[in-house]
Amino acid sequence: MEDSDVKLKEEIVDLKKRRNTVILAHNYQLGEVQDMADFVGDSLELSQKAATTEADVIVFCGVHFMAETASILCPDKIVLLPDMNAGCPMANMVTVPRLREKKKEHPGATVVCYVNSTAAVKAESDVCCTSANAVKVVEKIPVNEEIIFVPDQYLGGYVAAQTGRKMILWPGYCPTHIRIRPQDISRQRAEHPQAKVLVHPECRPEATALADEVLSTGGIIRLSRETEAAEIIIGTEIGIIHRLRKENPGKKFFPASEQAVCPRMKLITLESILGSLEEMTPEVKVPERIRLRAKAAVDRMLEIG
């Protein structure tokens, strides 16, 4: 490690202590960012962590909607997102006016909102979900109720297939996960016939159909730890491979596609974390009027778990 890296890390640790800060990082973050974090997890685990932390400051190493969720749950804490350009493109594929129109077309429908959405869209929704609990959330909705699912058509389609519920799917998608093609998975399977294939539900149905298991990033981490398989093909953003290899040195991990990179996730660096702690900016704060309504949808999700 270079001397400058050591110094950078020492400065972060020192400032973090002085400011009573917790660093939360998503499983897709750069390896060095994950290694610097107090906790690394999936969207659900990170929001549960944010909801219970005793820190005064949360440095959120992830994308904007994740920092917003922390702000929704912890209005008294300072939530820093080290780079404001770290936004999830899928979250911007649904807007409040368009969702309101859809609700008008289907009065009485329950709106289930993937957590990869803006706080304003969450405020228009009945309940949130992540990829870890989407099936459970939908199963709780009475069978006679119509469901509008926003914004990920592929997660929504997967949940509809798992639950047998008819759902109105918003046409959003993740530009990173659609790069994982069925032929990528088939090629990896041919090269590693003994491997287990774990795929994220944001992938296209043609890709999830080839998986042994379809899981959130947290689910992929857990199953990789528990499985007897020595080789595992991973169909999600490749940042997760760092943690998988670190936690499972005896197993081999193969990304289904090297193209599955989320550029926004990679904007957070050790330099931007330090800069953010020094300046205590950029802060993500959800206006109270939106926060209270969005919190109701997030709380309903957290009650389900």
Q: Footprint of ligand SF4 on this chain (CB under 6 A)?
A: 63, 88-90, 116, 174-177, 202, 237, 262, 264-265
Which of 37, 42, 111, 138: binder of ligand 13P (CB under 6 A)? 42
Q: How many helical (H) and strand (E) elements, i.e. helices and strands, does the chain have?
A: 14, 12
DSSP per residue over 69-85, as a string? HHHHH-TTSEEE-S-TT
Q: Is 156:201 a contact under the CB 8 Å cutoff?
A: no
Query: What's the chain's length in residues?
Result: 305
Alpha helices in 91-133, H assignment, sequence order: 96-105, 119-123
For the bound state, the minimum distance from the C-beta of residue 158 to ligand 13P, rounded and expressed in Å, comes to 12
Nearer to ligand 13P (CB atom), residue 79 or residue 174 = 174
- Window 116-145: residues binding ligand 13P (CB under 6 A): 116, 130-132
For the bound state, the minimum distance from the C-beta of residue 46 to ligand SF4, rounded and expressed in Å, comes to 12
Task: Give the list of residues 6+ apart from residue 253 with CB closer than 8 angstroms, or none.
Answer: 224, 231, 232, 233, 234, 241, 244, 245
Q: Using CB distances below 5 to 8 A depending on partner kind, what does residue 16 bind out of ligand 13P, ligand SF4, none?
A: none
For the bound state, the minimum distance from the C-beta of residue 40 to ligand SF4, rounded and expressed in Å, comes to 15
Does 69 help bind ligand 13P (rule: CB under 6 A)? no
For the bound state, the minimum distance from the C-beta of residue 87 to ligand SF4, rounded and expressed in Å, comes to 8
Which of 34, 43, 117, 118: binder of ligand 13P (CB under 6 A)? 43
For the bound state, the minimum distance from the C-beta of residue 260 to ligand SF4, rounded and expressed in Å, comes to 8
Distance CA 36, CA 141 (A): 40
Interface with ligand 13P: number of residues (CB under 6 A):
11
- Window 183-212: residues binding ligand 13P (CB under 6 A): 202
Residue 225 burial class via C-beta count within 10 angstroms: exposed 0-12, middle 13-18, buried 19 and up: exposed
CA angle 50, 52, 56 (to 5 degrees): 70
Q: Using CB distances below 5 to 8 A depending on partner kind, what does residue 89 bind out of ligand SF4, ligand 13P, none?
A: ligand SF4
| Site residues (vs ligand 13P, CB under 6 A) | 27, 42-43, 116, 130-132, 174, 202, 216-217
